[in-house]
Amino acid sequence: MKYLVTGAAGFIGSHIVEELLALNKDVVGFDNLSNSSLEIINQLKSHENGKKLHFIHADITHLEDCRRACLGVDFVIHEAALGSVPDSIENPLKYHSNNTTGILNLLTAAKENNVKRFVFASSSAIYGDNINLPLKESEEPSPKSPYAITKLTGENYCQFFHTQGLETVSLRYFNVFGPRQNPQSQYAAVIPKFIDLYKKDTAPQIDGDGSQTRDFIYVKTVAKINIEACDNNSIPLGKAINVASGNKISILELSTLLKEKTNSTKTHTFGPERAGDIKHSHANIDILKQFTCIQSDQDGFSEALSSTLLSSGLSETGLL
């Protein structure tokens, strides 16, 4: 079996490629390297099964690139996307061009090449500020940003192509964290950003009052879920599925926890709320549990957070 992973040099995509190589699978990595580095691909090729990885430097906005990448592929795992809510508000045309045109190109190429199944990285952002927590997949979408709109549109295209004979699954990621998450980006996710600042003994700024909550899930768990979604026959096809831990933690609690784990002397400050930000995020993962094994206890989050700290050059008691 051969797997195409788009966004292969990115945060989640690279972990999926790594997991596939560990399973000795044939992998086509696809990335335009606009928000990632060839160094990640070279690191993946140094894996003991690295010869199983074929990398294509190409762009999902080009249909012919997608057609070439899908040749002889059994499964497509589509991770490539622009992923910032604030940036999408400033640049909606860019997000439509990349995220919406990109998935339509890939779905078209996958169907033309008789791909067995297409797994799409969607987002919990499609729910908006829904107060019916924990969120079930049946809740009405209410996207608050162009980014979220592109993800919902991607789900709709997946549903359509499923009716046309291409098996599809949309995975609604909640808050994914772990190694290789870039803390230097202007729109960095909260965990790597706060780790980086506390490591430098610098006070991070919380957007708003810190009462907003998030449902975090470890990236290595997400990688395994993606692979299971490719060949597990019990997964509901043509549907969207929440991918989360089923637990929630406030940003204020998270910041306090990271300060303790890094032995920082600084304390967070507070700033204005971020445009398009969702107040609370908490998933119902009953459907996810039906086809995959997932650790949904808070100890699992703590252990994964410790692994992330170690990968960032820290131990729970300070600098290594």
Q: How far apart are CA 266 and CA 264, in angstroms?
A: 5
* Number of C-beta neighbours around residue 263 at 10 A: 15
Q: What is the torsional sign of CA 56, 62, 65, 67? A: positive
Q: Is 95 a catalytic residue?
A: no
From first CA to last CA, the distance across the chain in angstroms is 41
Closest by CA position to 229, among listed 51, 20, 65, 27 = 20
What lies within 8 Å, CB to CB, of 87 at 6+ separation is 95, 147, 186, 187
Cα separation, 236 vs 217, whole angstroms: 21
Strand partners for 170: 120, 240
CA 253 – CA 97 distance, rounded (Å): 37
Beta strands in 22-67 (DSSP E): 26-31, 53-57
What does DSSP assign to residue 130?
-
Q: Strand 117-123: give its sheet, edge to edge.
A: 53-57, 26-31, 2-6, 75-78, 117-123, 167-173, 240-243
The number of residues making up the chain comes to 320
Catalytic residue among 95, 127, 147, 218: 147
For residues 102 and 133, give the distance between their C-alpha atoms in angstroms, rounded to a whole number. Answer: 31
Which residues are catalytically annotated? 147
